[in-house]
């Protein structure tokens, strides 16, 4: 009977709204998990910077500060995306409410814009595409969104001058001013002592965790 009703009248609006809200909550939980993981990664990195500063190992501290800069960038991006997702939910529910009153659905340009930005996040591509499909079925958006990033939209590119300035600020913040200006950030730390070898392994583990969160 339900199948026949759907074939004649189309999907039930309340059912569509419940499904879309369920997908929104799923994305929100995933974002919260990612943000929590990045916060743990930030705390670990700070501890490693302080340990390097105590040893006077400025080179390692610079590299770690640059990694911390990347972690903070990603977390900031996720917080912004979480606000966009909340906006999608609010606009979506308003659109469903209007449909209930007026009996018709008008596609929302605002939802389309926000969903288009969110579906490009590596952390959310799969679930956001699923949500965009349901929103299109419901008539909240009028076309599928693209998950292709333009070359100038890559989030991982960091300007060298900007990175160096941020590294200086991070080193001052984390070490309480014990380390001076970093200068150009090296790409790899010299490995001389067993303790430094252990720290290098920790650094690589941290980078792997960051890459895993991004992918």
The 3-state DSSP class for residue 42 equals helix
Tokens representing 64 are 């770690």
98-136 per-position pLDDT tens digit = 777 665 556 677 788 888 888 777 777 777 888 888 888
Q: pLDDT truncated to tens, each residue of the chain (215 aa)?
A: 444 444 434 567 788 888 889 988 988 998 999 999 999 999 999 999 999 888 888 888 888 999 999 999 999 999 998 998 998 888 888 888 877 766 555 667 778 888 888 877 777 777 788 888 888 887 778 765 554 444 334 444 455 666 778 888 898 898 887 775 544 545 544 444 545 566 667 777 777 766 766 55
Residue 127 CA: distances (Å) to CA of 78, 89, 102, 132, 149:
15, 14, 30, 9, 17
DSSP class of residue 1 equals: -
Report whether 120 contacts 149 (CB < 8 A).
yes
User: What pTM was estimated for this model as a whole?
Assistant: 0.70
Give the integer Cα–Cα distance in Å for 193 and 186: 18
Angle at which helix 58-102 crosses helix 160-175, to 10 degrees, equals 100
DSSP class of residue 6 equals: H
Report whether 85 contacts 26 (CB < 8 A).
no
The closest alpha carbon to 179, from 69, 74, 64, belongs to 64
Report whether 200 contacts 189 (CB < 8 A).
yes
Residue 140 CA: distances (Å) to CA of 4, 95, 132, 196:
23, 7, 9, 55
């Amino acid at each position: 009977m339900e199948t026949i009703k759907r074939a004649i009248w189309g999907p039930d609006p309340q059912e569509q709204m419940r499904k879309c809200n369920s997908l929104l909550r799923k994305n929100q939980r995933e974002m919260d998990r990612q943000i929590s993981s990045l916060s743990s990664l930030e705390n670990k990195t700070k501890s490693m910077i302080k340990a390097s500063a105590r040893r006077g190992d400025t080179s390692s501290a610079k590299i770690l500060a640059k990694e911390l800069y990347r972690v903070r960038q990603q977390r900031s991006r996720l917080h912004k995306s979480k606000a966009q997702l909340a906006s999608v939910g609010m606009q979506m529910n308003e659109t469903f409410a209007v449909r209930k009153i007026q009996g018709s659905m008008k596609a929302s340009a605002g939802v389309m814009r926000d969903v288009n930005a969110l579906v490009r996040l590596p952390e959310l591509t799969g679930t956001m595409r699923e949500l965009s499909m349901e929103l299109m079925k419901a008539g909240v958006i009028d076309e599928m969104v693209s998950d292709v990033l333009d070359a100038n939209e890559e989030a991982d590119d960091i300007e060298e001058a900007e990175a160096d300035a941020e590294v200086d600020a991070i080193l001052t913040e984390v070490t309480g001013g014990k380390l001076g200006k970093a200068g150009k950030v090296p790409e790899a730390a010299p490995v001389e002592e067993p303790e430094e070898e252990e720290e290098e392994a920790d650094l690589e583990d941290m980078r792997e965790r960051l890459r895993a969160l991004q992918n």
